[in-house]
Every structure is written in C-alpha cells, then in structure tokens.
Structure 1
Amino acid sequence: MKKNMKWLLMLSLSAMLLLSACSQSDEGTAGTGEGGNEEAAASIGEQVDYEIIGIDPGAGIMKATAQAIEDYELSDWKLVEGSSAAMTAALDKAIKDEEPVIITGWTPHWMFSKYDLKYLEDPKKIYGEAEEIHTLVRLGLEEDQPEAYQFLDNFMWTSDAMGEIMTAIQEGQDPAEAAKEWAENNTDLVDEWTKDIQPVDGEEFKFSYVAWDSEIASTNLVQYILESRLGYEVTALQVEAGPMWTGVANGDVDATVAAWLPLTHADYMAEFEDKVVDLGPSMEGVKTGLVVPSYVEANSIEDLKGE
C-alpha cells in the first residue's frame, strides 16, 4: 500500500511539473500579436541596418517610399538609392544567405517568378491602389504616322505575357531575341494588334524608355513588331524617367510604352499632361510597394515601426 501511494504521489508531482512547463511555454510564445510584431520588427531592422533598398532616385516608387517612411514614422529607417539591377542583386544575395531584406518592388517583375516574395501591407495606402502602364505619344503623331499610332493604340497585354519575356531575359537571352521569340509564339495577338494596318517603307520611329526589366521587355516587343510587321526603322533610347517624359512632350521622341500611372509618374503627368497624348493603359493591375522574402516575419509596413 505504501509503495502504491508513493508511486501515485510521484505521478501527480510529474503531472504538475508538466502542466507548469506548458504554461510557461505558452506565456513565452504569447505576444505574436502586437508585441510579437515589435520584436520581429526590431530584429529585422537591426539585421538590415534599418535600410530599404531602392532604385534610381527619379522613380516615383522612391518618392512614395520616402513618404511611407514619414507617414509610418519610421524615423530610424533609410531609403538607399541605386538601380533596379543593384536592388535585385541585393535581394538575390539576401535570399541565398537566408537573411531578411526589404526592397522597393513592383509587379510585373521577373523576381516574383524566381523568388517567393510578398508585399508588405500598406494600410495608409501610400502606394495607392493597383496602377496601370500607359502608352504616351507626341502631339501630332496620329496625323504624321497614323500606322504607328493605330498599332500603339491597339497594343494591350498582360503581366503574365510580359513575365515570359522578362524571365527569358533574366535567364540570359538577349532582349531583342526574347521579344522576337515571344512575338513568333503569339502571332494571334500580334495579328490583332496590327490588323488592317498597312506597312510603311522605312519610316523612322523613336521610343524612349526607362531601364526597368518590365519596360525593357515591352519596348523590345513593340520595336520588333513595328520593324518586322509594319516596316519602320526604330530607335529605342534608354533614359531616366524625367527625360523619357520630356522627350515625348518636346517631340524629340515619338512614343513611350513605359508610363506608370496614376502614382509612379504622377508628377510628370501633372507637368506634361497638355503636351502628350495618353493612349491609355497597355497593361492593368500593376502594383508597387515594399517587398520582402516570404520568410520575413513582418507582414505590414506598420510592423517596421519602433523597437
């Protein structure tokens, strides 16, 4: 009897210790709400030196990010200027090292196909709703070159289609070859864009575009179609966003298929609205914002605030 009572007492004591350990464990993991986010944010901030990796300083997404830093009271954070290539290189290195990184990102972009990424939620809507990529042409183009004008007015495609060209370029294919291959594999759509348009005989045409992966893809595609289907001799000028808009407004170039509206290039539209012709979107459902690898614990820009 004494042995049985002793065994029961030991069993009861073990159960109490087990319950106590579970309770302490629950207390330690509680706080995955606001407190947990603060701890994760502090850790992320320290590991990335409170830096958001951006692109060229003239881009609208950089202006929006500077506004986000102010409006979300991210006083310890710094926006690092650079280029699209430098930004994706920083992203690639961080993912290979399984480290956190925060970048300015946009869709469509090949990095969303290559990596498992997510946008940080933007409850203050600093980056606005979904954007569009518009085609702009110079004043008088419809009268001077109606064939090119009609084609550009017809031009409309999807982010998935653009993604195919961007991915091919990222994997090492020449941009012109990637655009040509896509066009030859999608003749039905190209036929629709060029339907009933009579080819010209070697007329010159100039595009301007920014050196974003998306715009490299779209500009090479429209250049190939204008040359191979419609008989134009095309020059494509890679410039910053300001000169891109200025060139169309001044008539120095004929068109661009790289205007991001209504947010990213809002300042340029406000300045040049009466000096360009907006043919409307060639792509809808475009998005910009802060992007992180999916393994980063933060889910909102608000999670980056404070220690």
Structure 2
Amino acid sequence: MKKQKKWTILASLGLAGALMLSACGQNGSGGSASGEGSADSFGKQVNYEIIGIDPGAGIMKATNKAIEEYGLSDWKLIEGSGAAMTATLAKDIKAKKPIVITGWTPHWMFSKYDLKYLDDPKKVYGEAEEIHTIARKGLEQDEPTAYAFLDRFEWSSDEMGEIMTAIQDGKKPEEAAKAWADSHADRVNEWIKDLKPVNGNPLKLSYVAWDSEIASTNLLQYILQEKLGYKVTALQVEAGPMWTGVANGDVDASAAAWLPLTHADYLAKFKDQIDDLGANMTGVKTGLVVPSYVDVKSIEDLKK
C-alpha cells in the first residue's frame, strides 16, 4: 500500500515538472536557449536578428547573400562593430540566451566560449579562407628587407590566438605582441634570418579593426621596428581604404587581406595594382555562429 502511494506521488511530480518545463518553453525563459520546437519559435527568441559587425565588412555582404539564398525574409542583419558584437554575445551567453552572430576564426571568442558554426549547405560563405599579405608595387625594390620579411611571415591560428587571448585578458596589443615575440624567438628568427636591418626607414602598414588583424599587425610592427630597424606607422582603417591605400602606394603593406571570399571585390578591383605575397595563415573561416547550447544546426533551420 505504501509502495503504491509512493509511485503515485512520483508520477504527480513528474507531470508537474513536465508542465513547468512546457510553460518555460512558451514564455521564453528556462528552456529558451534550446531552440526546440520550430525555426519560427527560435526566430522569435532572437527577434529574427543576426548580430553583425561593420557594414563594409565582407562577412556582412556574405550574410546578406545568405539571407537571400536561404529565404530568411523575416530575418534582419544588425550592423555594428566587432566589439559590440562580442559584448552582446557575452551578455547573452551569461544569461544562457540564444543568439546568432557573424563569426570568424581565428578569434578569441572561440577560446573563451563554447561556440559552433551553423552548417552552410549552399556554401554561401565558401570553403575555408586564407589571410594574405599584400604590398604596394615597388616595395620589393624600395625596401627589400621589409619585403622579404613580409613575404616569409606565416603562422598558425593557435599562435595568433595566444596574442588575441592576452589582449582580451587586459594586455595592451603592443605588449602582447612583444611578449609573444620574446617567447617565440625561434619563430621570429626564421622570418628575419640573414636580413639586413635598416636605420629608421619609415614604413606604413594598414589593417582592419578585427581582433585577429590587431594581433598580427602589432606583431609585425614590433618585429619590423625592434629587429629590423624600421620606424613603423600602423593605420587602422576600413577594408576599402586598406586596399585602396596599398593600391595607390600610400600604404606599404597589409597582412589583413581575407581571400578568396571576404575581400573578393577588392581583389578583383585592385589585383593589378598590388603584389599578393600569398597566405600568412590558412584554414580560416567565416559564417553564422551560435552558442553550442543552441539546438539549431544549419542556416536552413532558421527558415520558417
């Protein structure tokens, strides 16, 4: 008799728990991060918004194309900045809320948070990309030391991640770059071996304000100045002025050209006016990103 009563109580508790979970799913709290039920319910949870970055970035153009290709007519791409995007991501992850962002690797947020790319079966974002170093025409003749170093420079996303993480943890970019160079002297020596230092020759670099490019450009600036004797100016600009500056000869080089997709339009426009020194990093990626606790797996799943 006692055993039968015990099971009756447990069954009642189970039903009550199920009703509570169901209610949470309906009012957007508790289980809201799962995205279960339908694409429509997930879309409502995130207000049909994809949190983007600077309007001129190649990933924003690709995302607008993805909205069109996947029929996401109810969705809106929110323009902003990389810093605003990561701040919104941090806030929503802390609250265990769902969110969709434009993302790319290498980026420190993949080390700090458990994130995943949404599958892109239509390949709107393309295959894996590369980050290239581009230089103005004539740099090889004018500054052979700088040109040779920039031509040799290549590293991995894990190496870049060390600098990005240090910056995110509070170090100034120039301090993080110096610390990395000092602790990876063997890598630096590979890049500058047998190169003859100069005596204060001016050099201009340009880069976009992405965490990855802040890391790489500060490292290049440190090595060019402290190891090769250049006086370096690093200009933070949008992608268009970055490419235009190199093409016009106003800027000597940039290690922040994302190809073949992100900066495809700029390469098509300026390919005959710049020297492409090749990839300084391979296997980079762009796309739509969500926290791993979100059940949505593909961009197709966002469609109503």
| TM-score w.r.t. length of structure 1 | 0.88
Q: Is the 8 A contact 1:247 1:253 kept in 2?
A: yes
What CA distance in whole angstroms lies between the structure 1 residues aligned with 2:135 and 2:44? 46
- Report whether the alignment pairs 1:149 with 2:161: no
Cα deviation, residue 40, structure 1: 3.8
Cα deviation, residue 37, structure 1: 7.8
1:3-23 deviation digits (Å, cap 9, x = unpaired): xxxxxxxx9xx9xxx9xx9xx
Q: Is the 8 A contact 1:135 1:258 kept in 2?
A: yes
What CA distance in whole angstroms lies between the structure 2 residues aligned with 1:38 and 1:122? 20
- Map of 1:84-233 to 2, 5 A cutoff? 84-233=82-231
| TM-score w.r.t. length of structure 2 | 0.89
What CA distance in whole angstroms lies between the structure 2 residues aligned with 1:102 and 1:44? 10
| Structure whose alpha-carbon radius of gyration is higher | 1
What CA distance in whole angstroms lies between the structure 2 residues aligned with 1:103 and 1:231? 41
What CA distance in whole angstroms lies between the structure 2 residues aligned with 1:45 and 1:257? 37
- Map of 1:283-298 to 2, 5 A cutoff? 283-298=281-296
- Identity rate, percent: 71
Taking a change above 3 Å as real, the CA distance of residues 120 and 75 of structure 1, as seen in their structure-2 partners, is same
Counterpart AA for 1:65: T
- Report whether the alignment pairs 1:245 with 2:243: yes
Q: Is the 8 A contact 2:36 2:42 kept in 1?
A: no
Q: Is the 8 A contact 1:207 1:256 kept in 2?
A: yes
Q: Is the 8 A contact 1:133 1:286 kept in 2?
A: yes
Counterpart AA for 2:236: Q
Counterpart AA for 1:303: D
Q: Secondary structure at the residue paired with 1:274? A: coil
**Which among 267, 270, 275 is matched to residue 269 of structure 1?**
267
What CA distance in whole angstroms lies between the structure 2 residues aligned with 1:80 and 1:113? 24
Cα deviation, residue 41, structure 1: 2.0
Runs of 4+ in 1 over 3 A off after TM superposition: none
Counterpart for residue 28 of structure 2: none
Number of aligned residue pairs: give it.
279
**Which among 33, 37, 42 is matched to residue 44 of structure 1?**
42
What CA distance in whole angstroms lies between the structure 2 residues aligned with 1:262 and 1:136? 13
What CA distance in whole angstroms lies between the structure 1 residues aligned with 2:40 and 2:295? 11
Q: Is the 8 A contact 1:54 1:79 kept in 2?
A: yes
Counterpart for residue 23 of structure 2: none
Cα deviation, residue 87, structure 1: 0.4
State the superposition RMSD in angstroms. Answer: 2.0
Counterpart for residue 236 of structure 1: 234
